[in-house]
Amino acid sequence: MPSMGSIGDCFAGAVIESFWGRMRTGLLNRKRWKTRIELANAIFEYLEIFHNRQRRHSALGMLTPVEYEMLYPDVQPA
């Protein structure tokens, strides 16, 4: 089985494209940002608070990334 991002892997960009699409509609397109710092803080909060701790992911069995990592603490990414 090819690893994520290998040459010829048709699913290599699907996960990140899906993520960016959700972030665009859920955060970026909702308001105009006054400064880059304000935008950077909003992106950080979106990732750390919502995406990793609250949003359930179908690829993880409807768990949040934090919940999934707690189930498998000894597994290290490749």
Q: What is the pLDDT of residue 34?
A: 94
**Domain range spanning residue 67?**
14-71
Number of domains forming the structure of the chain: 1
How far apart are alpha carbons 44 and 36 in whole angstroms? 12
Range of weakest confidence among 12-21, 42-51, 63-72: 12-21
Where would I find the H helices in the chain?
A: 14-26, 36-45, 52-53, 65-71
Could you give the maximum distance between any two Cα atoms of the chain, in Å?
45
Q: What is the pLDDT of residue 1?
A: 42
Q: Which two tokens stand for residue 76?
A: 């290290």
Return the DSSP state at 31.
S
In a domain, 21, yes or no: yes
Tens digit of pLDDT for each residue in 2-42? 455 566 666 667 778 888 888 899 888 889 989 999 999 99
Give the type of residue at 78. Answer: A
In a domain, 6, yes or no: no
How far apart are alpha carbons 55 and 7 in whole angstroms? 30
